[in-house]
Amino acid sequence: MNRSKMNSSNLEENRKAMQTRANEAGSHALMLIDFQVDFLEDDGRMPVARNQVEPVLAAARLAMEEARRAGDPILAIGNEFRRSDRLMNFLRNGASIEGSPGAQWDARLPLKGVAYFAKWAGSAFVNPRVKQWLEKNHVSSLTLSGLKANACVTATAKDALKLGYKVRVLEDAVACGSDSSREAALRRLARRGVIVGRSDSYSSRFSGVAAD
């Protein structure tokens, strides 16, 4: 075997070894939760606090930019509540029912190149395809951004922790019904071991604040 073939072979072996180590170590992913019309528009059926909308969208866009720069996979999760769930749909004021205009993803947060999964309950993990996608991409840690901090973001974070994922929530990239409810939700998540960080420190991975 000549030297050029040996070098080529060694490079390929090194590449495979690096990929194997990366897969074993696990990768990081950014999860976007429920950035949908019924929660973000003024006339939505279950809107978050109006003062939070634009700052949260800006922070989520920054997180997406940072994730792409880092080579992290991104997935989006959207509520598509089943029409047959009449009682809960009534309690949710008919928000984000499958096929409805309010269930559409907000155009201010484009999903080009982003994997999308529907859910029909609070946690993203109600859809088994989410966990399958994370496993396929060798994901071991998650950063969450989305709506609402005290509902679907919390439910998803809790399930992720139970499944063994490391979890970070971006405090400036999650919204809720009020500032006080968002702050309370973040404090509760921190007590559970979730890292609370910010979109402008996305690349720091798990630097942030967690409760003792």
Reported as a single tens digit per residue, the pLDDT across 66-81 is: 999 999 999 999 999 9
Q: Which distant-in-sequence residues (6+ apart) come within 8 Å of 21 by Cβ?
A: none
CA distance readout (Å), 182 to 84, 174, 189 = 30, 8, 11
Burial class (CB within 10 angstroms; exposed 0-12, middle 13-18, buried 19+) of 188: middle
Residue 35 identity (one-letter amino acid): F
CA–CA distance, 125 with 75 (Å, rounded to integer): 12
Look at residue 11 in the predicted model and tell me its pLDDT: 44
Q: What is the pLDDT of residues 142-187, one digit of tens each?
A: 999 999 999 999 999 999 999 999 999 999 999 999 999 999 999 9
Class of the CATH-defined domain 26-204:
alpha beta
Q: What is the pLDDT of residues 13-38, one digit of tens each?
A: 544 433 443 444 469 999 999 999 99
